[in-house]
Amino acid sequence: MVDSRSRPDACPGALQVHQAADGALARVRLPGGVLTSTQLQTLAESAGDLGNGEIELTSRGNAQLRAVRDPQEFARRLAGAGLLPSETHERVRNILVSPLTGRIGGVADLRDLVDELDRTLCADAALADLPGRTLFTLDDGRGDVSALGGDFGVHAVSETEVALVLAGRDSGARIAATESVTVLLDAARVFLELRDRHWRLSEIADGVDRVLSALTLAPTADPVSGFDEHRAPIGWLDQPDGNVTLGGGLAFGILHARLAEFLAAVEKPVIVTPWKSVLLCDLDEWSAEQVVRVLAPMGLIFDENSPWLNVSACTGQPGCEKALADVRSDARDAVASGELPVEGRQHWSGCERCCGRPKGEVADVVATETGYRVEEP
């Protein structure tokens, strides 16, 4: 059955905040997950001055602050740091790119496409009407972000050619990499004409075929075989240029303001990944060693075998009024005691909605009135 929504799109942003049980929640879009040192410092200071002292990372490579006491001041700070380039389009700037593109692996370097797509998206007034859940994906051929179910995406099949990904699957159409932004935004415009009250392209009957027809494109190649689920790149990652990228995980995807300030002080590019981790890029070996020595004790996880990397959780109590338990506290105790209810990936939820559940094979640990119910994949 096709799902149609009759209520307005309430997806939060930096200007349209969500009133949660613990106060205003503001979400900041980070196209490609990229943050400069100055921007990260702004988020860190805002989390401390205006929020609860934490920056929450999201599964779309974005960031959000909870319990924001002065949303207008927060928006002013974001604008000053270049994190709010468009007031009209800020909720639709959901752009994921393979986090390591251009540095390690991949078929093509897609970093320049992020800025081009973001600028062109914001320059089209009509595209401000896209739902806040719309997702663009730019995959450099390794299959990491194509697997995340974007509405409109490209997947590099060579340095000069990309597959057009629609509703999370390869449509079979092939286009020049240089045409990526034009085709993606044309597809988004077609979606606006078709969408009625639907929020995602996948919810529209024959949506992929209808978009291809409107774009006068057709399948010309066998689709790339099923996109594989990826995990966060963690630890010491050698770049071909001799530098190092450090991949750091975070318990529940929470970046504490003090840790964020230390990351910003390194003055190297920071990338927020859709697995709620961070990459600190372009370090020389000596600097990378110092970062690990200082930031690991502060909570940045560089061990790819850490049990924390298998455990995710929704907000739970007291931040969510629908939650039946303080799931993060309970999950934290379970990790510390070594008594997790199930092996492998698991998501702890405060209610049946299972908000924030990652894609793929994940066990559900769901709070009920009488305790936790475990559902294995």
Q: What pLDDT does 3 receive? A: 43
Q: What pLDDT does 354 receive? A: 93
Q: Where in the chain do CATH 3.30.413.10 domains reside?
A: 308-375
Estimate the share of the chain in helix, then strand, then coil, as percent rounded to the nearest 5. Answer: 30, 25, 45
pLDDT in tens, 319-360: 898 999 999 999 999 999 999 999 999 999 999 999 988 888
Residues in the chain predicted with pLDDT less than 70, given as ranges, are 1-8
DSSP category for residue 166:
E
CATH number of 308-375: 3.30.413.10
Q: Residue 210 carries which side chain, given as an amino acid letter?
A: R
Q: What pLDDT does 277 receive? A: 97
Three-state secondary structure readout of 205-232 = CCHHHHHHHHCCCCCCCCCCCCCCCCCC
Q: What pLDDT does 343 receive? A: 93
Q: What pLDDT does 8 receive? A: 61
* Tokens at 94, concatenated: 């959901």
pLDDT in tens, 116-169: 999 999 999 999 999 999 999 999 999 999 999 999 999 999 999 999 999 999
Dist CA 377 CA 360 (whole Å): 9
Dist CA 52 CA 301 (whole Å): 22
Does domain 8-85+234-302 fall under CATH 3.90.870.30? My reply is no
Q: How many residues does the chain have?
A: 377
Q: Where in the chain do CATH 3.90.480.10 domains reside?
A: 8-85+234-302
Q: What pLDDT does 4 receive? A: 43
Q: What pLDDT does 358 receive? A: 86
Tell the CATH topology of 101-232.
Sulfite Reductase Hemoprotein; domain 1 (3.30.413)
